[in-house]
Chain A
């Protein structure tokens, strides 16, 4: 068994009893990376020297005693669109191949306060645009369950590194499903918190009204611990919500008696793999056996969510990515004719095809004459999608469905067909548009590839989402299976 399969409390008691050191944990992480990352390619940059120094410091602290952080000594991976001071942050883009941040994202500062150890930066789709990691401009990450398959995306490196046992946990970001979908494809737990619960300061912006950082972990308990460490108001993020942060681990009671579950028929209709549907139905039976009740409900505007999302997210992206002009940071093109040419050449050389496509779509949707028809229209439909959820949550505590309509697909299978690729996000995008929390937990396999169950909650009610996910996990063994690697 890997050290990283130990429960957090067990790791900490072993550290207390001197059966284990932080250096052991950090060594185990780099050893596993050496063994497996030539195949998986989850990491873009390693932080080895600093991490080993940090492990020594923490081991010293361990001997001296005193107060310790919540995530003390745990090896962590950080998605490469979350800035880390002095540690290369590329967003998997050639444009930022030399970008060395001069500050830490708030979530990274919070991990430092919680005393986890940053092992390195994780691969992703360029600027978080994609659902397969094939849009990384360096190399695609591979699924630890079968390296011929995608790990999902955009937080594919974050999911694969946890599934492969390279780190104890990782941080990802989710704009339309980018934490939950790769978690589902890699058979781990991924939580997208309520919009505004976790600071976005230092997250390189893709779509500012949707982006949210969250944990990817092996189980729900770890997810609650990491969320505890990173949640909270931040004055550096003007969209940060000033709400009380509850004790998430105390919500993990195992009790879901009387919990009212809504199951949207739109998430189990056309396009869903029969094996995925069957796994979701089995999961609902598990909830029933624990005293919860479920009923079919409707989220009638689901079919409009993907069009809405791609107009809004691309519009916001086209504006956010205007900052990449080759002037202040990033790669500057050689021999420009003038300043405009410098912008044009730097951007054209630095961005990959999917990023260009979305900038083009967003620029078009925002351009004179089309704003009302596309952008404003999509914002109005977003209201209708959000109201769908409000209506269901008047009568139900949580919503359950699949995380993705299928399991992971083969690398290369959907390249060149952006629209089909976008349709993989049908179950996660509506949740992002509504800004509410959702978790993906393993609920079975189809032909050897993991299936994810999505549990969706009311805004800022992560506690109920975690409680339901944890209770399900207690009744099942899915989260315990690990891919066979090297």
Chain B
């Protein structure tokens, strides 16, 4: 499998990244090298191997569903780049 500039553009779009032409070319080469290296995993037979997504035997950590105090709005908005009336402001989504 070889990655083309088109693939890089597609992935960049999925990742919400805007790449310069130079970056696109560089990443095409570098990602190809890394993925070629990763192909060595294919030499291992893993048909009967369970995947490890997490090393600890912990699943479904629950807590009691009780209402707790939230952070104050002023604190939550402290780092917001733009805000109005206690809400975070972004460009219009609908025309």
Query: Which residues of A are at the interface with B, using a C-beta cutoff of 8 A?
Result: 98-100, 102-103, 195-196, 209, 235, 238-239, 241, 301, 303-304, 306-308, 310-311, 318, 322, 325-332, 336-345, 347-348, 351, 353, 356-357, 359-361, 363-364, 367, 373-374, 376-384, 386, 418-419, 433-435, 459
Contacts and interface: CB of A to CB of B under 8 A. Distances in A.
B53 interface: yes
Given A339-B90, A359-B15, A360-B31, A383 B38 contact: no
A309 B80 CA distance: 34
B17 interface: yes
A308 B41 contact: yes
A340 B16 contact: yes
A360 B15 contact: yes
B16 A99 contact: no
Could you tell me the dominant secondary structure of chain B's interface residues?
Answer: loop
A382 B34 contact: no
Nearest to A238: B61
A361 B19 contact: no
A31 to B, nearest CB: 33
Contacts, number: 160
A361 B44 contact: no
A196 B58 contact: yes
Contacts of A328: 79-80, 88
B17 A356 contact: yes
Contact of B18 (A241, A345, A361): A345
| Size range of the chain B interface in the assembly | 35 or more
Nearest to A382: B52
A339 B90 CA distance: 7
A217 to B, nearest CB: 25
8 contacts: A196-B55, A301-B44, A304-B44, A347-B15, A351-B17, A356-B27, A364-B35, A374-B35
B20 to A, nearest CB: 9
B92 to A, nearest CB: 8
Contacts of A308: 41
B50 interface: yes
A343 B17 CA distance: 8
B90 A342 contact: yes
B6 interface: no
B86 to A, nearest CB: 14
Contacts of A306: 37
A451 to B, nearest CB: 27
Contact of A377 (B46, B50, B81): B46
Contacts of A364: 3, 7, 11, 31, 35
A330 B79 contact: yes
A98 B63 contact: no
Contacts of B27: 356-357, 360
A318 B16 CA distance: 11
A418 B30 contact: yes
Nearest to B51: A379
Contact of B37 (A241, A331, A419): A419
B11 A241 contact: no
A242 B19 CA distance: 44
A102 B34 contact: no
A360 B41 contact: no
Contacts of A363: 11, 14-15
B95 to A, nearest CB: 10
Nearest to B7: A364
A379 B75 CA distance: 39
A348 B56 contact: no
B23 to A, nearest CB: 7
Nearest to A379: B51
A326 B81 contact: yes
A235 to B, nearest CB: 7
Contacts of B31: 357, 360-361, 364
Q: Interface centre among B12, B34, B44, B61, by most A CB within 10 Å?
A: B34
A303 B40 contact: yes
A357 B30 contact: yes
Interface string B62-95: 0100000001000110111110000010111100
Given A310-B38, A359-B15, A336 B91 contact: yes
A307 B34 CA distance: 8
A226 B54 CA distance: 26
B5 interface: no
Given A339-B93, A344-B18, A102 B56 contact: no
A360 B53 contact: no
